[in-house]
Chain A
Amino acid sequence: MNLTELMPFSVLIPLIAAPLVALLPGRVAPWLVASASAISALAIAVATWIGVSQAGVLRYAFGNWPPPIGIEYRVDAANAFVALLITAMAAIMLIWGRATVNREVPERQGAFYALFLLAVSGLLGITLTGDIFNVFVFLEISSLATYALIAHGGDRRALLAAFRYLIMGTVGATFLLIGIGFLYIMTGTLNMVDLAERLPAIGESRALQVGLAFIVVGLALKLALFPLHLWLPNAYTYAPSLVSAFIAATATKVALYVMLRFIFTVFAPEYSFSALPLAMAFTVLAIGAMFAGSWLALLQDNLKRLLAYSSVAQVGYMVLGVSFGTVLGLSASFLHLFNHGLMKGALFVAAGIIFHQTGSVRLDSLRGLGRVMPWTLTGLALAGLSLIGIPPTAGFISKWYLISAAIDAQQTWLVVLILLSSLMALAYIARLVELAWMQPRPADAPQVSEAPIGLLAPLWLLVLANFYFGIDTRLTVGGATAAAEALLGMGG
């Protein structure tokens, strides 16, 4: 079977496996099938990535209906790169998460894993498809699955968090759908390549402008761009550990990717940035996100919520890279998209392990934990270094490119703001380190022990990946640059 025909299966395998998993009884079988399908999706994503780096673009028309009539999957460096992140995270998280799921979701695990696979499949579908209505469909699949997953959290507040996310997410999806409707009315097509060809002919049009605005706002909600981030902290905090870790590492990234796809491929960047004051809006909102997110992270007393607010700030960095509208800026965004997936994945995995062992992720319960659970907390601290951007971590490479992009775009004043917000990250990570190592364990603290190797190995895999990609940047920088060029239509 050649690669072009294989490629759609990274979406289809989890999608088909989901109902199967839902029917499986017990605890082992659903987990096994889910993990196996995530790993096969990863294998296909790797093959796709290799294929794309040789061939440039892979296209697959469903049912042999040629586009623009049928639905087409169209994979270039940009979505292959994102798909790699999603599948890798799904595979690692599933293998890691079994023990945490046993503790946090003791019953009906078949349904839980089925939802997880649907979320994975939805995110992959958004990423790979070349059809804008298909984007909406997969967005709904992944979102609905995610609402249900968050509601599985043990705390009753998880239900409220899921409900709020549902309201906000539905508003976002509706905005996206309205925008897509505008595009369809104006052009009569839903295929991205086709749209890109037909849109310039329309020229100045209020309807297109409104369509773009709806799409950008709708997706900004999904990617939790400040000030539309209000759903995110509770959703990340109260979701089961496995779900927090997976969606923190992937969900907002996919929303960002698809927004970039709309701005840069469907509408040309010249159009997007002139039709709407996007550069200005993104700069202002990104700065707002960087500072509000970091500041709120400093005030939290719950580890997962702290990390969630930090995600809001990190989304700011990615959007800031986009606001420059240059290849370098866009590369910086993609690079951070990938690297942030690695670091937040590691941090949430560490938080999950802490919850599994101690039953709490309140910062109070971290006191003196460094001596009791040295491997977990060291992993947390090292991933924290990556978040701050200390070399030789992946986070440093992100910061380097973001600062380079700012100087390249002659926005030197932004460098100061980027660094100030990094220093705020330093403050909240240092606070964790100090709590864990420099404070004695309270006398009435529950007896805890270090996590088993099965939980630690995936954490350290992610931590070491943070260091590996901070040293060997061929895959990440090369991939991000190729992705940026593909979006700007320069890579062919």
Chain B
Amino acid sequence: MIMSALPIIPPVAIIAIAFAGAIVIALAASRPSLRDTLCWLFPLPFFIAILGYIEPVVSGAGPTQTLLTLVPGLDIAFAARPLGLVFTLLASTLWMLATPYALGYMKKGGYQNIGRFMACYAIALGAVAGIAFAENLLTLYLFYEILSISTYPLVAHTGTEKARAGARTYLAILLVTSVGLMLPAMVWLWQATGTLSFSSGGIMAGQVSDTTAAVLLVLLLLGIGKAALMPVHRWLPAAMVAPTPVSALLHAVAVVKAGVFSVLTVALYIFGLDYLATLITQPIMLYLAVFTMLAASLVALHQDNLKARLAYSTVSQLAYIVTGALLATELAAIGGGLHMLMHGFGKITLFFCAGAIYVASGINTVSGMDGLARRMPLTMLAFFIGALCVIGLPPTGGFWSKWYLVSGAWEAGYFVVVGAFMLSTLLNVAYLMPPVMRAFLRPPPSDDPVNYQVNEAPLLCLIPLLITAAGTLVLFVLADPAYQLLSLGVP
């Protein structure tokens, strides 16, 4: 295989590529052409290095590395596992696509401070790699916080009063939950078990009382605010004040998937699925996730602002993955992992389209999209495919993740959850299809400025969104390798 020819570099080096990229891009901020070249350049070695991990992880010997020992038993350490590999593959692939999109969008939209913007973007991706390859909860927490902080300037990028208020909500909720709930849960866990390492089957069974474990589950699930479980989901709609490339890569993929990745990791490797199923708070949190899934869909129905609608849709879809983790069966956990991948591709396509529509036509509401397909046929086609993926219809990858999630719920005997998945799918149709219908079937408004002329977004924006849309179709065929890879990591 070609994969085996790829170099395998330590996890720290992968993170360092992204961080080094951030520094170099920041230093080149005043020279636009050099800066752009660097932005194009850094995602490539990052992606190739992660590709190099596929072979060792599949053969069961993912690279590991201990960077530092803080106290005996408490390390900053890394270990590549299947779930983390899927997450980084997703993030690094989409980073390569989001970079040209971001450059095209920011220039067309006349945004300032592109150097700072792209540098923070790179830091966020480095933090994602750190989260994905973390060997223990402390390392994960470390990079989780770096991700929160590095994305704050991105949300507040435009510096208007509205952007500042949104960024304040964003950072406040993320830090209050992580510092207020996740950190004490982690210290408590450390005091009780003497380890924070992720290991198959969990570290808690037999080490802590059932009551403690039940409380820890609640603390951790709400403490991982990036998973946007209600009632700590408000930061995600607030983050929509950011320029669309941020919403696309970070608030549809990197940040939110870091949240659900953490939830899956905690469920699999801290609690262990078998032990998780015995806790008294497990059904409570499961139904909270189901509630989030349905309630967020209902809220999405009423959003006229396209990005707000997509944001609430993300809250709902994240709850799918949390539900998958909390069903505590292997099939559902794999389904959750797959959904991370599929929804990532689908949702970034939708956001790319929303941004393209905004820069090309200035439209940001659903009600303004009448007849838009005549002006932006390719964008709307991609939007349609992305919507199919998020709804979970063939021939897109989203079909498979939903298939396994529903099967997992069925296997666990939670028929209410099966019903909720179905209901939510119908709601997905109800909030994602109207923009498509309006664009394709309704006539454009009579005062249409370009009057039936094709007027697509710049190529730098258009091509990435077509690639991600095609990606969702490819994933329909390639779902099996992803499934095989994920099942390696689920005991």
Q: Which residues of A contact B (CB under 8 A)?
A: 385, 388-392, 397, 399-400, 403-404, 407-408, 412, 415-416, 419-420, 422-423, 426, 430, 434, 437-440, 471-473, 477
* Cβ of B404 under 8 Å from chain A: no
Query: Are B164 and A438 neighbours in the complex by a CB distance under 8 Å?
Result: yes
Which of B70, B145, B167, B191 contacts A390 (CB under 8 A)? B145
Question: Chain A residues near B167 (CB, 8 Å)?
Answer: 438
A-B contact pairs, 30 of them (CB 8 A): A388-B175, A390-B175, A390-B179, A391-B142, A392-B76, A392-B142, A397-B70, A400-B187, A403-B184, A403-B187, A404-B187, A407-B187, A407-B188, A408-B191, A415-B184, A415-B187, A419-B179, A419-B184, A420-B180, A423-B175, A423-B176, A423-B179, A426-B175, A426-B179, A430-B172, A434-B164, A434-B168, A437-B153, A438-B163, A440-B159
Over the window 173-193 of chain B, the binary record of Cβ atoms lying under 8 Å from chain A Cβ atoms (1 yes, 0 no) is 001100110011001101100
Question: How far apart are A393's CB and chain B's nearest CB, in angstroms?
Answer: 10
Q: How far is the CA of A423 from the CA of B184 in the complex (A)?
A: 13
The 0/1 profile, CB within 8 Å of A marked 1, for residues 12-30 of chain B is 0000000000000000000
Q: How far is the CA of A146 from the CA of B247 in the complex (A)?
A: 53
Q: B5 contacts the other chain (Cβ, under 8 Å)?
A: no
Which residues from chain A contact B180 at a C-beta distance below 8 Å? 419-420, 423
Question: B224 at interface (Cβ–Cβ under 8 A)?
Answer: no
- Chain B 153-175 interface mask (CB, 8 Å, partner A; 1/0): 10010010001100110011001
Number of B residues near A (Cβ < 8 Å) is 28
Q: Which chain B positions have C-beta within 8 A of A437? A: 153, 156, 159
Considering residues B168, B179, B180, which has the most beta carbons from chain A within 10 angstroms of its beta carbon? B179
Contact partner of B156 among A391, A404, A438, CB < 8 A? Answer: A438
**In the bound complex, what is the Cα–Cα distance between A258 and B171 (angstroms)?**
40
Contacts of B145 in A (CB 8 A): 390-391
Contacts of B76 in A (CB 8 A): 392, 471
Contact at B70–A473, with CB atoms within 8 Å?
A: yes
Q: Which residues of A contact B70 (CB under 8 A)?
A: 397, 473, 477
A419 touches B183 (CB 8 A): yes
Select one of A399, A404, A434, A439 contacting B191, CB under 8 A: A404
A contact residues around B46 at 8 Å (CB): none
Q: How many A-B residue pairs have CB under 8 A?
A: 70
Q: Which residues on A sit within 8 Å (CB–CB) of B450?
A: none
Known: A430-B171, A434-B164, A438-B167. A422 touches B179 (CB 8 A): yes
Query: Which residues of chain B come closer than 8 Å to A477, judged between CB atoms?
Result: 70-71
B1 within 8 A of A: no
Q: Are A403 and B68 in contact (CB under 8 A)?
A: no
Q: Which chain A residues border B149 with CB–CB below 8 Å?
A: 385, 390
Give the complex CA separation of A416 and B68 in angstroms.
29
Roughly how many angstroms separate A471 CA and B146 CA in the complex, as a whole number?
14
Q: How far is the CA of A403 from the CA of B181 in the complex (A)?
A: 12
B52-91 near A? 1/0 per residue, CB < 8 Å? 0000000000000000101100001000000000000000
Give the distance to chain B from A421, nearest Cβ to Cβ, in Å. Answer: 11
Please report the C-alpha to C-alpha distance between residue A342 and residue B116 in the assembled complex, in whole angstroms: 28
List of A residues within 8 angstroms of B184 by Cβ: 403, 415-416, 419
Residue contact B168 to A430, C-beta cutoff 8 Å: yes
Least CB distance, A385 to chain B, in whole angstroms: 7
Q: In the complex, which residue of chain B has the Cβ closest to the Cβ of A412?
A: B188
Once A391-B142, A392-B142, A473-B70 are accepted as A-B contacts, the answer to whether A404 and B175 lie under 8 Å apart by CB is no
Residue numbers in B under 8 Å from A420 (CB-CB): 180
Residue among B159, B179, B191 making CB contact with A438, cutoff 8 Å: B159
Residues of B within 8 A of A422 (CB): 179
Q: Which residues of A contact B71 (CB under 8 A)?
A: 473, 477
B157: nearest chain-A partner, CB-CB: A438
Bound together, the chains give a CA A391 to CA B183 distance in angstroms of 11
* Given the contacts A392-B142, A426-B175, A471 and B191 also touching, CB distance less than 8 Å: no
- Apart from A388-B175, A397-B70, A437-B156, what are 14 other A-B pairs with CB-CB below 8 Å? A390-B175, A390-B179, A391-B146, A403-B183, A403-B184, A415-B187, A419-B179, A419-B183, A423-B176, A423-B179, A423-B180, A426-B175, A426-B176, A434-B164
Q: Give CA–CA (A403, B175) in the complex, Å.
A: 17
What is the distance, in angstroms, from A482's C-beta to the closest C-beta of chain B? 14
Residue numbers in A under 8 Å from B153 (CB-CB): 437
CA distance A7 to B76 in the complex (A): 37
- Closest A residue, CB atoms, query B167: A438
A57–B57 Cα gap in the complex (Å)?
Answer: 51
